[in-house]
Amino acid sequence: MSKIKFLSGENIPLEMHKVRMVQKLNLLPVEERAKKMEEAGYNTFLLKNRDVFLDMLTDSGVNAMSENQYAAMMQADDSYAGSETFFRLEKVLQESFGKKYFLPAHQGRACEHIIARALVKPGSVALMNFHFTTTKALITLCGGSVEELICDEGLKVQSSAPFKGDMDIDKLNEAIGRIGKDNISFVRIEAGTNLVGGQPVSMRNIREVSKICRREGITLVFDASLLADNLYFIKTREEEFKNVEICDIVKELGALTDIFYFSGRKLGTARGGAILTSDDKLHATMREFIPLFEGFITYGGMSVREMEAMAVGIRETMDMDVISQTPIFIEALSNELISRGVPVVTPPGGLGCHIDAKRFCEHIPQEQYIAGSLNAAIFIASGVRGMERGTMSEQRNPDGSEHMSEMELVRLAIPKRVFTLSQIKYTADRIAWLFENRKLIGGLEFVEEPSVLRFFFGRLKAVGNWPELLVKQFRKDFGDSL
């Protein structure tokens, strides 16, 4: 995607691809959207896709695949052991990231499970810029804990810092001194820091963290699931890389880190996961878990067709036309919302546009799940399905009390090359309407609350009859429009 200057002077994002396969969408009337939301326990994970208009829940496994990826799927070798597909993918990954070994797994969290099994001792601490839900849950499952060292700017919803995902180097040095390197399972950097709004990490920061880890003999793990967007930001926001090829940036990242893993549902636009390392000992330890939890070591729970698609997808990630589409659309959506007064995370990052629910719904108490409430209201107002990224996505403290999230965000993910600009404009318009009527939105309370990863399948109900009032106002303002 390129930002092309038009005669009018505007910079309009211009797609550098054409759409050759389509899926019909369905936009239910507002009354039905409210009914479907209630039936889904006010949890957008429990909606049926047939009832959703624009699915911005996630980009995971739903990015548009290229014609070359589909073509590659046709020549997959499905032998249980020693499949040619494995060797093709292995070669692409070795060449792209400069690592000696590749271990396949069925998705990103499976990689995290293997890494946690191999490295987390009970009582040990994993230091990271910020946690991701599955990462933290799996480290905790293995008896470890997580400490976050993100820079202060990272937790400011509005900021002009270009790399809000950076780790605070002073905090890292302090934590190593306090905890002691033998009690640190690993240091983890997450590219495109998911839970603080898809915010990138700079190469400068990764170099510094790597230097410290090498000095101390601590394993540096790099979660590259959101690397595509992060690469775009390294190239456009870090002067040094302006003229450096994407593939060379990726090679440097590979060289700076000891374990490199990713969710292929995000990076590589296929469905699977990969762990890469050049360390013989780490490889031998992790490899043992692959046949136990995933599948034989030449497929690791992935379909061979997806492995072929991943190999092509990784190569296509090295192209700015491919990786710029999501960040540029996110910027367009965020800027449109900002111009209409809606509070969003700034600067716009990768992965999705993140709405600041705390400021959007100042009247809702945090115990009533501010971001969860706004997320449900957005679906009712628009048929757009977003994801709650706030207190509902946290686990309760061991004593049962709520762990209040620092940020209450609603994420509108922008899958790669899936939506059009008019769909983005529609989304902004409905959310701007909701903002004008924000006082109508009320809170939620749990009626069924799972103890682990509750946001996936927990069920809630509205506090009061606010969904009904919202529908009434919608009808008043939009007449018989959907």
> 221: which residues sit within 8 A by CB, 6+ positions away?
115, 119, 186, 187, 188, 189, 257, 258, 259, 260, 261
Alpha-carbon distance of 28 to 384, in angstroms, equals: 11
In the complex, what is the shortest distance from the CB of residue 328 to ligand F0G, in angstroms, rounded to a whole number?
19
Catalytic site includes residue 132: yes
133 a catalytic residue: yes
Nearest distance from C-beta of residue 109 to ligand F0G, angstroms? 3
DSSP classification of residue 102: E
The answer to whether residue 269 is catalytic is: no
Which of residues 267 and 322 has its CB atom nearest to ligand F0G in the complex? 267
Catalytic, out of 36, 265, 266, 305: 266
**Annotation marks residue 156 as catalytic:** no
Instruction: Please say which residue, 272 or 347, places its beta carbon nearer to ligand F0G.
Output: 272
Give me the residues that bind ligand F0G (CB under 6 A), please: 58, 60, 107-109, 132, 134, 190, 194, 223, 225-226, 263, 265, 273
Query: Helix-strand-coil percent breakdown of the chain, rounded to 5?
Result: 45, 15, 40
Residue nearest to ligand F0G (CB): 108
Closest residue by Cα to residue 429 from 346, 349, 357, 340: 340
Q: Write down how long the chain is.
A: 482
Strands in 289-403 per DSSP E: 352-356, 384-385, 387-389
- The residue among 218 and 226 lying less far from ligand F0G, judged by its C-beta, is 226
- Alpha-carbon span 218 to 253, nearest angstrom: 17
* Contact assessment for residue 264 and residue 110, using Cβ atoms and an 8 Å cutoff: no
Q: DSSP code of 114?
A: H
Known catalytic residue at 455: yes
Task: Determine the residue type at 335.
Answer: N
Handedness of CA 322, 326, 329, 331 (dihedral sign): negative
**Catalytic residue list contains 457:** no
**Calpha distance 320→315 (Å, rounded):** 12
We find the least distance from the C-beta atom of residue 265 to ligand F0G, in angstroms, to be 4
261 assigned to active site: no
Min dist CB 345 to ligand F0G, Å, is 15
- Indicate the residue among 45 and 446 with the shorter CB distance to ligand F0G: 45
CB of 225 to ligand F0G, least distance (A): 4
Identify how many contiguous H helices and E strands the chain contains and give both numbers: 19, 16
Which sequence positions are flagged as catalytic? 80, 132-133, 223, 266, 389, 455
